[in-house]
Structure 1
C-alpha cells in the first residue's frame, strides 16, 4: 500500500465520458484515493486528462499503465466488448479492478474474470455506483422492517435520449439499451427481491444498427413476486432527456419514487401504508446522497485495505448477468453463442454430439473420436443402447468428468416415479458416473391412446426434481414435449423444465412451439438439426452455403445457432464431426436468415409426440 495510511494509487484505463463527468470527480472527493495514472489510446488526450484532473502520470496505451508497479488498482470504463480482455490483463498484472457496468458481455466472460481475480489474489468489483447510495440503503431498510409487507411487485424504468452517433449504437461493441440502462433496472430489482428467477419474458424494438432501442421485460420469481421494467434510448435524438421511475408494492403498502438512477443531493420519495382502519396514509421521505462515485471508490479502497468485502459481490454480478443474458436471448439480440447458460447457472455447449445410431459401427471408438476432435457435450438416452460404450469412452479418454457435459433420457416405458429413479441409476451405472449434467423425459406418451400419460409424466418429473435437489442432476428438462404437454406440467411442477429437446431444422422449425418455449423461459434444443437428405442436399441450401464458403451442414447448424438454439448433430466420421463443430467463423446475413426461414417444410422425420 501507499505510505499515507492506506491511500490507494489508482490508474484509469480510458478517457470515456463517464470517467470525466462521474468516476474521476468522485475519485477526487474520495478518501484514501490517489489519482496516480491515466492511459488512453491517444497520448494527447491522456495528457489533457492528466492536466485537467491532476494525475501524476499519463500513458499512451493501457499496457504501459499496467506495467507501472506503482499502480495498485485500476478503473476500467472501456467499451463493453473489451471489458473481459482488459480486466483479465489487469488482474494478471496483480491490479485490483473496478470495471464499469455491465462488467461482461455474458456470464461466461464474467466467470472467467472472477476466476482470474481469485487466481491472482486481487479484488474485482462491478461499478454500479448508485447501489452505494444511502437512498438504496433506505429503500432496503423500509422493506426489511416489514412496513410495506412482503414485496410482490416491482416496476422500474430507465429511458434516455437516442444518439446521432455513439458507441451505444454499435452492436459489435456491446451497444443497445439493455446493456446500457437495462442493467440498472435488473440490478435494482435483484437488490430488492431475494428469490431465484422463475421465468423471464421480454420483447424489444431494434434500430437500423441492430441494437435494441426499447425493451419491455417481465420477470417472475420463485417466491411468487414479479418485476417489470422498461429500458431504452427513445427520448428524442441528442436531447439529454431521461425518465426514471420506481414502484415497489407490498402486501401492506407501497413505495413510489421518481429519483434518478445515480441521483445526488436531496432525494425524495413517497411511502404509502394502510392504517388500522384500512385507510391509505402517505408520507414523504427525504434522503441526502453525496457522490455515489465517491462512495463507490471509498468502498473499493476499504476492500483493498482489507477492511471490507466488495459491496457488489461476485454472486450478485453473476445473478444479474444471467438475467441480462436471458433477456438478450429472449429479444433476439444474441445471434451467435458458443454456450448457453440456464437460469440456474448450468452451462450447455452450443454444439453437442448426438450419439443416436452413431455408435452402431464404430462403437467406443466413435465416442473417442468425438472427444478427440473437441466435443465436450455427449447426448445419449436409455433407448439408444450405447450408454455403456459412452461411459467406457469417457473413462478411456482421460478427460476429467467435470469437463464433459453428459445428458441422458428416460424412455417412455419407464415413466413414473420409481421407474424413473431406477432408470436414472441404471444410466449412471452404464455411463460410469454418479451424476448427470442433464436428464430429460424422452417422450411424453407411450402412444396416441395413452390416457394416463400425464400421471406418469408428473410422477417422473417429481422424481427428477428430487434428483435435482440432491445434486445428482444439474439440469432437468423434456424432449419432444409440445405446449399442450407442458402446460399441465407447469401447474404441478415445483421446478420448471429448463430445456425441451425437439426435432428442429430449417425444414421443420415448429415456430408455435418455439414461441411458447421462449415465453415460458424454456431453452429449445435441436435434435436432427440437419434434417434428412432432402434438406441437407437441397439446391437452395447449397447455393447459400457457397456464399459463405461453408458446408451445407455448417450453414444449417449456424442458422439454428443464430436463432438461439443449441444443436446436437450426429456424425460417424471424424471429418463430419469437425465440420459440425466449425460454425463460428461466419455469420448468416439477415436476408439469408429470412430466406431460410421461409423455405417450405422438408426433411421432417414423421415422428409426432402424440403418436410415437
Structure 2
C-alpha cells in the first residue's frame, strides 16, 4: 500500500483531540482529505461534519470502515478499542493511523503489529513530536553534539489536571480509568516522552520504577518515579506527579552532556535553552496550528510512495513496553 494517489480518510471518534490538533490537518495536507467521520452520538457526529466540512458522518464503526471511498482510517478514541478498530480496518485493507498511547499495554500493541504484518497494511501512531519543528530542532542540537556526549536525561511532570483544568469537584475522566486507558496520566503523557527519547537517543534497554495512588482521587496511579538506561549507556530518571497545586506546576526535561546541558519542555513551553562550553542561547519555536499536520504529511507521503513516516506501529509499541516495565510494581 505505497502507491495510493489520493488518501481519503475516515475518522473514528470526534472528541477534543480532533478539533484542532488533528482533524483539520487531514484536508490541509496535499493529496489528502477527510471524507467521513464517525461518532457514537449522531448529533455530535453530524455537528462535527458540518463545522469541519466533512462530507459524510456515521454512528457505526463498521459503516465507516466499509465505506468504499475511505482508504485510510484515523482512530481517535480512548485506547481500550484501538486493537479492535485497528484490526477491523487493516483486515479491510485500510491503512491505519491510531492515537497515542497505541494501546493499553504492550501485548495489545504487538497484536496490532501482528495484524499489520499479516495483512501487509501499514500502521502508524500519533507520536507527532517526531516531526514538530520544536523537537526537530532539539534532535538537530543533539545530533550536532552541541553539549558533547549525553550522559543523563531527566524528566519531570508535576501538576494537577483536575484542579487546574476541569475543577476541584470534577469526576475523573477515562484517562484515569485503567480499564479504558491502561493506566493514568503517566500512560497518557509519558508515552510521548519515551517515544521521543528513543527516537533521538536510541532504544531503552531497561527500566524500572514505582507507581502509586497517593491522593485516592481515582483508581489509577497519580505518582510515578522511574530509572531507565539506554543501550548507548545514557542513564535517565523521571518523576510524574499529578496531585500538586498550580504553584508547583512543572514540565521540564534536561539532557546533560559532557560539555553542557539542554533544558526543554515536552508539553508547555516553546523555548529550548542551551548552556554549553561553546554555545549559550535560547530557541523559541512555537507549535504549528495543527500539531499533527507535519506527521500526517509524512504518512501521506509514505502511502503515496514518496517518503517514510518516522512513527509506525513498531516504534509506537516501544513506549508501551517501557511504561509496562515501570508501572508493573503498581
Partner of 2:299 in structure 1?
A: 300
Unpaired runs of 5+ in structure 2? none
Q: How many residues align?
A: 316
* 1:248 equivalent in alignment to 2:251: no
In structure 2, the CA distance between the partners of 1:310 and 1:259, relative to structure 1 (3 Å rule), is closer
After superposition, where does 1:411-490 map in structure 2 within 5 Å? none
Q: Report the equivalent of 2:275.
A: 272
2:185 to 177, 181, 190: 177
Deviation at 1:195, TM superposition (A): 4.3
- Alignment map for 1:151-162 (pairs within 5 Å): 151-160=150-159, 161-162=161-162
Shift of 1:259: 5.9
Compute the displacement of 1:123 (Å): 1.3
> Which residue pairs with 2:230 in the alignment?
221
> Using the alignment, how far apart are the partners of 2:175 and 2:286 within structure 1?
31
Deviations 1:66-94 (A, max 9, x none): 11111011111111111111111111111
**Structure 1 unaligned residues grouped into runs of 5+:** 276-280, 333-612
For the 8 Å contact 1:212–1:232, the answer to whether it is kept is no
Give the TM-score of the pair, scaled to structure 1.
Answer: 0.49
String of CA shifts for 1:157-212, please: whole Å, max 9, x gaps.
34451252311232211241121112122223222322442342334335343201
Does residue 141 in structure 1 map to residue 149 in structure 2? no
Structure 1's consecutive aligned runs of 4 or more residues displaced over 4 angstroms after TM superposition are none
Task: Tell me which residue corresponds to 1:548.
Answer: none
Residue 284 of structure 2 is matched in structure 1 by 286
Where 1:22 maps in the other structure, the secondary structure is coil
d(CA) in 1 for partners of 2:81, 2:186? 17
In structure 2, relative to structure 1, the CA distance for the partners of 1:259 and 1:60 (3 Å cut) is closer
Q: Hey, what's the Cα distance between the residues in 2 that align with 1:59 and 1:306? A: 30
d(CA) in 1 for partners of 2:46 and 2:203? 47
Rg larger for: 1
Spell out the pairing of 1:82-481 with structure 2 (5 A cutoff): 82-160=81-159, 161-162=161-162, 164-165=170-171, 166-174=173-181, 175-206=183-214, 207-234=216-243, 243-258=250-265, 260=267, 267-275=270-278, 282-287=280-285, 289-290=287-288, 291-330=290-329, 332=330
Do the aligned partners of 1:76 and 1:87 also contact (CA within 8 Å) in 2? yes
Give yes or no for contact 1:185–1:231 (8 Å, CA) kept in 2.
no
**How far 1:222 moved relative to its partner?**
4.0
TM-score by length of 2: 0.87
Contact 1:155 1:227 in 2 (8 A): yes
Q: CA deviation at 1:56?
A: 0.6
Matched position secondary structure for 2:213: strand
Instruction: Tell me which of the two structures has the higher relative contact order, counting C-alpha pairs closer than 8 angstroms and 6 or more residues apart.
Output: 2
